[in-house]
Amino acid sequence: QKDAVSLYAFDHQVHRTVASRSNQHQLSRILSVLEEIGADSRTDLLAVAKEVAQAIPRRGLVVIFSDLLGVDRLMEGLRVLRQRGHDVAIFHVLHDHEVDFDFSGATRFEGLETEAFLNCNPRALREGYLAALDEFLEQTRKACGRLSIEYMTVRSSEPLDAVLAKFLATRQSMPKLKR
């Protein structure tokens, strides 16, 4: 629809931006930046949300792709974006192993954003892990609902075009969010 699109790549601060444009080269600019970045530290969504909310001159759709691990002040950051009148959608990206926890035998789990690790028998942890994950996902879903934020869990194995098509189809069928 030739809507202007921008990108803010961040963790505890914004590291890279792609200025808002609506031309045919914008997608390649965004993809180029996404190929270059990686996860380095914890995410402070409140600090970043304040910065991004100031940078976006008018209301729009703010879409966040995150694993939500190590995200400090998640709901406070989302609240800032909603208070500025933005529609907000979260794509909570989870790896198949996180969702299914289908590990067997002695396993070492290493943190991606910390130095922490755990050596264990995953079969002994599976039931408790899956219960804790379900609780976290449900709490996050409910909190997003209270803020009128669209929340989708997405497996990293799902094709991005299918995920976005589902999101857009769902969004078209929904009534407009309250501002």
pTM of the full structure: 0.85
Cβ(8)–Cβ(43) under 8 Å? no
Tens digits of per-residue pLDDT, 54-103?
A: 888 788 899 999 988 877 788 999 999 999 999 999 999 999 999 999 99
**CA–CA dist 65, 152 (Å, integer):** 10
pLDDT of residue 179: 47
Side chain identity, residue 177: L
Cβ(154)–Cβ(139) under 8 Å? no
pLDDT of residue 95: 94
Query: Across-strand partners of 126?
Result: none
Tens digits of per-residue pLDDT, 115-136?
A: 889 999 999 999 999 999 999 9
Cβ(66)–Cβ(92) under 8 Å? yes
pLDDT of residue 40: 66
**CA–CA dist 114, 48 (Å, integer):** 20
